[in-house]
Amino acid sequence: MRVLHLSDLHLGSKGGEIGGPGLEQLIERAGPELIVVSGDLANRGRRGQLEQAAALLRSLGPDVVAVPGNHDLPYTFPGRFSHPWREFERQWATTEPIHRSERLLVVGLNSARPGRQQSGKLRRSSLERTARLLAETPPEVYRLVFLHHHLTCAPWRARKRPLSGRRRALRLLAEGGVDLIASGHIHQGSAIERHEFDVGAGKRALVVATTPGFGRPRQRRQGEAHGLQLYGFDEGEISVETYIWHGGELRLSGERRFPR
């Protein structure tokens, strides 16, 4: 099983490559069951930007599930607070999608908040509901949770604050039996297993990953990567492959494999 992870398209900005033959070739070669998109599909949360993003993503072939990021809310008042998710839900129906198949459960969580410009937070009810759903899932099924805001910091842009309440979120999702938590927001790629940063973790493995930004809204900003990640769920193993745009192609820049 393969899942393609995109984030931070920022449609409507003056960013670099979005889509193209390189992405199509990767999808054809990898054959992902699903594409997950972890927020910032638009650059300013406008209807036209979100429509453009949805059309692009659905043209790729596989099923797509998406959650909003901080750039997918309206940037003007009063809409930011009176109807923050109206345009996003017009395209995707919900801000917290669920995908089920015989061997895979994917749950999206909405970490964007109207009152927070950069930082994110999860609703307690959503987190607890997801933990119960994970725990009720048969053990042979791989469980992936994705959201916009990161739980662990990638190597460079550490000044972007991670998810508020991340310790509790990590604990509840781990107790539910999640295998992989995936996010975006910081435009960098990383993959780490919980035991590599949490000495109190239990025996079960848990991978935490962030994917590079698929768009580049600020072309001159340093410390950002431009690409995506591909997750593999094989018998007893999770793989994370990071691909970076280079000369119109998506090139494999790194791969990690984690025993389940």
Closest alpha carbon to 7 in 213, 163, 190, 154: 213
pLDDT at 17 (0 to 100): 56
pLDDT at 166 (0 to 100): 95
Residue 168 has φ and ψ, to the nearest 5°, of: -65, -40
- 84 band by pLDDT with thresholds 50, 70 and 90: very high
Per-residue pLDDT at 57 exceeds 90:
yes
pLDDT at 26 (0 to 100): 94
Per-residue pLDDT at 46 exceeds 80:
yes
* CATH numbers and ranges of domains, the chain: 2-259 (3.60.21.10)
Per-residue pLDDT at 98 exceeds 80:
yes
Per-residue pLDDT at 16 exceeds 60:
no
Q: Is 93 left (phi over 0), alpha (psi -120 to 50) or beta?
A: left
Q: What is this structure's pTM? A: 0.95
Environment class of 219 (CB within 10 Å of its CB; exposed 0-12, middle 13-18, buried 19+)? exposed
Query: Which stretch of 45-54, 118-127, 153-162, 169-178 has the lowest confidence by average pLDDT?
Result: 153-162
Task: Report how far residue 212's alpha carbon sits from residue 131's, in angstroms, rounded to the nearest whole number.
Answer: 26
